[in-house]
Chains A and B, each alone.
Chain A
Amino acid sequence: MTVRKGEVLGLLGDNGAGKSTLVKTLAGVHDPDEGEIIVKGKRRTPWTPLAARDAGIETVFQDRALAPQHSIVTNIFMGREITNAFGLTKVQTQIDEANRLMREIGFTSKVFNPESTVGHLSGGERQGVAIARALYNKADVIVLDEPTTALSLTETQKVFRFVEAVKASGRTVIFIGHNIYHVWEIADRFFVIDRGREAFEGLKAQFDGADHLIHMMHQLAETGRADTATLKSVA
């Protein structure tokens, strides 16, 4: 699987295809069973959550990995607080930085600020906290694991705006989704996996709309392979 700089890659697959496993491996939560992880020409062992973040891969987990009883700012800096030499957090610096990150993705409102408790936010807004957190540290690749699952239409729209903002900033986004229409709306290229292996891939322009992609995924589910000949060729 290759991911190009600055694109939104839609990662698709049926339940159990291995999407979440792939995400967890990228994020450093799972160590790979075999093979090795090479980032910018350097081998990375051990591959841990911190190593992944250090390598510029930020992951927004399905369950968002938030601490609901704490503020937005505490959640954004979870695990990498900005501290002075004594280990004391620089409160104002963190608030300013959180404000900047939230503005960058358009995650602002008059009803909450960086010091608001995450548990009082809506589902889409919590996703905003997780995405703002992923932007900190100049990440190159941002992995979004089913960010719109269990969200209402309005909330989903909010998350799309956040993702558009991330894309506009020139970062690479891997968008994992179950709802193909959601992925279709946001992605530039699609990569479909089946039982842990690549099934097919294609640029958005190679498909005749979302229904074409869905049709190919139906084929894959029923016959075990998709007819890639139907994909249009692009120059």
Chain B
Amino acid sequence: MSDATPAAARPPEADASAVDTRKEQSRWFRYYRTNGRAMNAFLTLVIVWAVFAVNNPPLFLNPVFYNAFLFSVPATIFLTTSLVFVIVSGELDLAFPSVVGAAGGVFMYMVMSGFPVMGAFFLTLGFGALLGAGIGLIVVYGKISSLVATLGLNFFILGLVNLLAQGRTISAPDAVGTLGNRILTGKFELLNTGLQVPMHFVWSLLWCLFCFVLFKYHKFGVRVQLVGDNTDSARQMGINVERIRVGVFIFSGIAAAIAGAILVQMANMVWFPTSGKAYLLIALAALFVGGTPTWGGVGTIWGALFGAMTVTLIPSGAVGAGFAGYWTDFLFGLVIILTMIAHRFSGARVR
């Protein structure tokens, strides 16, 4: 203490009971603060739908138009919702498309070896968890940036699967229509409307509910958010940061395995090694349109559901609304950019 303590540092004499001029936040404001991103994502879906629908009302009001939509959206839902956990924890997973392909192959191999579809499905989930754990361990304990590590692993696993399958497509027509197949990806008509609801759409909604509870109320989900918000704080408060991080990769692996097994069955039990490849950018776009910010700590499961629906609706919706096929990418980009700006208004980062 070589310098005298300045007068400004003397004991504070200010009146601590000075009037607090801040206003109490209304319930609605607080609700919007918490759920604004999911609400924006929902609004995006409604607006995109409405813009398409006014161009061709008879088509968009006909339930049959949505058959293809309900059939194809679940895979994106499974992938996007699990990515919420990864991004919120402060990591990035670009390896999930390869897990989709690998898990689909494992599922197919088991079905061809005589496993019942249901049994093969659950074993495939175990495989996805193991592969996810492997990816997570490399990222977390190898101390490699998850962007780089998972990018490399995506190519590596995809390449390995391609080598093992020697680039061939595999099919198992005998398993089509078995009980397990019908439970997982069968269809039922909704109230004589002509709308065919696929079972995997129902499962994907239940999966969202499960993810929501896990994310918002379970210790694991809460800690994922805390680790992503402030890693050092989480560590100081005794949270095992590494375990949580590996956990999100395991979770992502399980979801990718579900998507892999579902995709095979959607194609009537046909598997090809690169079956997950197309989902990389789609799922990430859905995630961000869904309102989960890139910086970690916060995210929304319901937003991810709406985001997945929006990105699935755009290609078929654009064509249905009379846009030529080459408009799709443009509209896709436009929606992503506009939604990002909307999210910016509803929730800037608080520090």
Find residues 58-87 in chain A having any chain B CB closer than 8 Å to their own CB.
59, 61, 63-70, 74, 78-81, 83, 86-87
Q: Does B12 contact A (CB under 8 A)?
A: yes
Which of the residues A14, A81, A160, A181 comes within 8 Å of B222, measured between beta carbons?
A81
Q: Does A111 contact B (CB under 8 A)?
A: yes
Q: List 10 A-B contacts (CB under 8 A).
A: A65-B230, A67-B297, A79-B234, A80-B238, A154-B16, A158-B16, A179-B9, A181-B5, A181-B10, A181-B11
Taken together as a complex, chains A and B put the C-alpha atoms of A185 and B9 apart, in Å, by 12
Interface of B is mostly: loop
Given the interface pairs A89-B222, A214-B1, A221-B1, the reply to whether A70 lies near B236 with Cβ below 8 Å is no
Find residues 293-334 in chain B having any chain A CB closer than 8 Å to their own CB.
297-298
Instruction: Identify which of B10, B23, B233 gathers the most chain A CB atoms within 10 Å of its CB.
Output: B233
Q: Does B174 contact A (CB under 8 A)?
A: no
Report whether A67 and B238 are in contact in the complex, using a CB–CB cutoff of 8 Å: no
Q: Does B189 contact A (CB under 8 A)?
A: no
With CB as the reference atom, state the residue of chain A lying closest to B220: A87
Given the interface pairs A156-B12, A179-B5, the reply to whether A27 lies near B236 with Cβ below 8 Å is yes
Report whether A180 and B238 are in contact in the complex, using a CB–CB cutoff of 8 Å: no
Report whether B233 and A182 are in contact in the complex, using a CB–CB cutoff of 8 Å: no
Number of A-B contacts (CB under 8 A): 129
Tell me which of A1-9, A31-39, A45-53 binds B. Answer: A45-53
Q: How far is the CB of B328 from chain A (nearest CB, A)?
A: 35
Report whether B219 and A111 are in contact in the complex, using a CB–CB cutoff of 8 Å: no
Taken together as a complex, chains A and B put the C-alpha atoms of A221 and B13 apart, in Å, by 29
B residues with CB within 8 A of A: 1-2, 4-5, 9-16, 18, 20, 22-25, 30, 33, 213, 217-220, 222-223, 225-226, 229-230, 232-239, 297-298, 349-351
Taken together as a complex, chains A and B put the C-alpha atoms of A182 and B9 apart, in Å, by 8
Which of the residues A49, A111, A117 comes within 8 Å of B20, measured between beta carbons?
A111
9 interchain residue pairs of minimum CB distance: A119-B350, A157-B16, A153-B12, A79-B237, A67-B229, A153-B14, A50-B238, A65-B233, A49-B238
A residues with CB within 8 A of B: 14, 27, 29, 48-50, 53, 59, 61, 63-70, 74, 78-81, 83, 86-89, 91, 109-111, 115-117, 119-120, 152-154, 156-158, 160-161, 179-182, 184-185, 214, 217-218, 220-222
Which of the residues B2, B217, B236, B350 comes within 8 Å of A221, measured between beta carbons?
B2
Report whether A49 and B222 are in contact in the complex, using a CB–CB cutoff of 8 Å: no
Report whether A120 and B350 are in contact in the complex, using a CB–CB cutoff of 8 Å: yes
Taken together as a complex, chains A and B put the C-alpha atoms of A73 and B25 apart, in Å, by 17
